[in-house]
Amino acid sequence: MNFVLSRSQFQVLGVACLVMVTSMYVVMFSVSLERFPRKILTLHNEPYIRSQRSMQSLDPSSCLCYPDAVTLSSRVPMMHYGNMVQRRAQEFKSYKIRKFSVLSTPLHAKANSPLQYPIHGYIVLPLTPTLIPDLALHAEEKPLYKVSLKVSKGVLKTKFRNEEATVTGLNENKLMIESSSLEVVNQFLSEIVYTSIIYHIKTADQGTWSKVCPLINLHILNHLSFSLISAHFQFENYEAVFPIVIKQPQVPVLWKTTADIDSLVTITTKTFLRYPKLKIMVESVRTFYPKIHIVIADDNIRTETIPGRNIEQFYMPPAKGWFAGRNLAVSQVNTKYFMWVDDDYLFTEKTKIEKFVEVLEANPELDMVGGSVGGNRWDFTFLYNEGDDEEGGCMYLKFHTQFHPLPGYPNCSLVNGVVNFFLARTDAVRSIGFDPVIKRVGHPELFMDGLGYLMVATCDDPENMHINHQPHAENGVSYNKFRHPANKYMDYRYPIYYFKNHMKCIRL
C-alpha cells in the first residue's frame, strides 16, 4: 500500500519532528547542567550571558541566578526594604543617564548603499565649529533633491554658495538645501559645519538621512549619550548610523620617574592588631629594598610607631576599617605604581618588584598584575549578567579561571581579580577606590566595582613574583575576633551588593 501525503500533512509532520528534537535537546542539556554545573558555567561556554545585553533593541530580561547563589533582597532587613527598593530604583535611573552610550545601540550597514559617510573617528570639541567630513550622496537622477539637516543641541551652517540651490536655516538647528543638481547638493554636503550650542563633556547628537518620494531629507537629532554623536544617515530604504564623538580634551597626567625602582613603586599596607607581624614584614622589605618608600595605614586601638627611613605611618580612628585604610594608603602614594601587601607577608629573594614593573611597562593598557602568596594566586573571573532594571544583575565569582594568556608573557593571564599581592597603576586604582563601607571582611569588592574599568592579570612565576605568609598561628585572639566574625557580620555585605551594585543575586 502506498501512502501519499499532502503538502499540509508534510508541514505538520515537519513541525512535529522539530518539536521532538528540540525537546530531546532541552532534556539532555538540563541533565548535563545538573551533572556538570561547574563545567557548563564557564566564561567560554556561556557566550549568551556576555552578548545578550549588547543588543539594546531587545528588552532587558531578568537574569537567572546560579546554583547556591544568595538572593540579595532576602538579606535586606524588612524595616528598610521598601525604602531601599525605591531609592535603589531612583539611583539606578540616574546611573543609566550618566553611563548610557549610543555605542550600545547596534549599527547595521545595508548592502550596496548609495550613502557615503564617516564611519569612525569624527571628533568635535564642545562649542567649536567643526566640518562634518565625507558626507555625500550617490543617487540616481531625480528631478529635485531636497536635503534637510536637523539638530537639537547645535547649529548648522555652510560657507558654500551656488545660485542653483536654495538654502534656508543657516546658523539654525535646521538647514534646508534644495537643488535639481546632485553635484550641487554634494558640494553643499561637503561644506556643512556643526557647532554644539551647550558645553558638556558627556553629550551626543543623533542624525538621520532619509528620502520621501523623489526628495532626499537629512535629519540630525540630538540624544544624550556618553561623549559622542550617533548620526543616522538614510536614503530611501538605506540607512547608516555612524558615531561622532563630542569630547573635551583631557589634560595628560604623567608620572615623573627614573629607572630606579624606588622612584617607580611605593609599598602600601594596612595594619590592625598585628604590630609584631608588621615589623617583620617591614624588615623583610628592607632586606631587599633598603630605600623604597613604605606607606602604612594604621587603625589600631593602641598605636605604636614603626621606626625607619622612608616610612610614613598614618593613624586612623580606631577600627575604622579595612577598605578605609586601603583608601588612605593609596591616597598618599606619589609614585606611578604601588605594591599592595598585607601586614603579615614576608619578602623573600623570590619577591622581585622589578618583574611586576616589567609586565606593566610592557603592557600600557594593563592596570594591575598579581603574584602568588604562599604558592597560591587566588585569581578569579566574574560571570555577570546585568539583568533587568527592576531586579538587577546576577554575578558568579569563579576562582582559578582565566581568560587567556597575556601577549608576550605566557606565564601571565588576564583575569578579573587577584590576591592581595599585586602591583597596580596608582591613578587607575584611585579612579575606582575602596568603598569604606567594607570594614572587616572584603576583597572582591574592589574588582566588582572595577569590572569593565580595570584590566587585571595574574602571573604564575614562583621564582620572581612570589611572597610568603608569616605563620597564622601567631595571630592574636583579638585579631581573630575581628578577622573572622560571626555569620551575622558576614551578611552586612549583601545589602551593599543589592543597593550599590544593583544586583539580584551573587555567588562568591
| Tens digit of each residue's pLDDT (9 = 90 or more) over 428-483 | 999 999 999 998 888 999 999 999 999 999 999 999 999 999 987 665 656 666 65
Question: Which range (6-20, 59-73, 307-321, 486-500) has the least confidence?
Answer: 6-20
Per-residue burial over 435-468, b = 16 or more CB atoms within 10 Å of its CB, e = otherwise = beebbbebbbbbbbbbbeebbbbbbebeebbbbb
- Give the pLDDT score at 484: 58
CA distance between the termini of the chain = 65
Widest Cα–Cα separation across the chain: 102
Read off the pTM. 0.79
Q: Output 419 or 116, whichever has higher pLDDT.
A: 419
Hey, which of 207-216, 228-237, 425-434 has the most confident mean pLDDT?
425-434
Confidence band, pLDDT 50/70/90 cuts, at residue 100:
confident
Q: Output 346 or 489, whichever has higher pLDDT.
A: 346
pLDDT tens-digit readout, 372-403: 999 999 999 999 999 999 999 999 999 999 99
Confidence band, pLDDT 50/70/90 cuts, at residue 135:
confident
Measured CA to CA in angstroms, residue 11 lies from 2, 18, 230 at distances of: 19, 11, 45
Confidence band, pLDDT 50/70/90 cuts, at residue 139:
confident
Q: Is the pLDDT of residue 15 over 60?
A: no
Q: Can you tell me the mean pLDDT for 263-269?
A: 98
* Percentage of the residues of the chain whose pLDDT score is greater than 70: 75
Q: Is the pLDDT of residue 279 over 90?
A: yes
Q: Secondary structure of 344-361 in the HEC alphabet?
A: CEECCCCECHHHHHHHHH
Q: Can you tell me the mean pLDDT for 293-318?
A: 96
- Give the pLDDT score at 190: 93
Q: Can you tell me the mean pLDDT for 501-505?
A: 97
- Give the pLDDT score at 221: 32
Q: Can you tell me the mean pLDDT for 17-35?
A: 42
CA 289/CA 263 separation, integer angstroms: 12
- Give the pLDDT score at 118: 81
CA 280/CA 65 separation, integer angstroms: 44
CA 334/CA 330 separation, integer angstroms: 9
* Percentage of the residues of the chain whose pLDDT score is greater than 90: 56
Q: Is the pLDDT of residue 242 over 80?
A: no
Confidence band, pLDDT 50/70/90 cuts, at residue 176:
confident
Per-residue burial over 92-107, b = 16 or more CB atoms within 10 Å of its CB, e = otherwise = eeeeeeeebebbebee
Hey, which of 184-193, 248-257, 351-360 has the most confident mean pLDDT?
351-360
- Give the pLDDT score at 233: 63
Question: Which range (90-104, 176-190, 228-242) has the least confidence?
Answer: 228-242
Say how many C-beta atoms besides its own lie within 10 A of residue 388's C-beta. 14
Q: Is the pLDDT of residue 206 over 90?
A: no
- Give the pLDDT score at 111: 72
- Give the pLDDT score at 31: 35
Q: Can you tell me the mean pLDDT for 139-150?
A: 83
Q: For residue 241, what is the enclosing H or E element?
A: strand 238-246
How many helical (H) and strand (E) elements, i.e. helices and strands, does the chain have?
A: 13, 29
Q: Output 335 or 153, whichever has higher pLDDT.
A: 335
Mean of per-residue pLDDT scores for the chain? 81
pLDDT tens-digit readout, 67-85: 899 999 999 999 999 999 9
Ramachandran area for residue 493 (φ above 0: left; ψ -120 to 50: alpha; else beta): alpha
Question: Which range (186-190, 314-318, 502-506) has the least confidence?
Answer: 186-190
Q: Can you tell me the mean pLDDT for 187-198?
A: 89
Q: Residue 226 gets which letter from DSSP?
A: S
Question: Which range (132-141, 339-348, 427-436) has the least confidence?
Answer: 132-141
Q: Determine the length of the chain.
A: 508
Q: Is the pLDDT of residue 282 over 70?
A: yes
- Give the pLDDT score at 268: 99
Q: Output 381 or 156, whichever has higher pLDDT.
A: 381
Confidence band, pLDDT 50/70/90 cuts, at residue 124:
confident
Q: Secondary structure of 138-202 in the HEC alphabet?
A: CCCCCCCEEEEEECCCEEEEECCCCCCEEEECCCECEEEEEECCHHHHHHHHCCEEEEECCCCCC
Question: Which range (97-111, 215-229, 393-407) has the least confidence?
Answer: 215-229
Confidence band, pLDDT 50/70/90 cuts, at residue 43:
very low
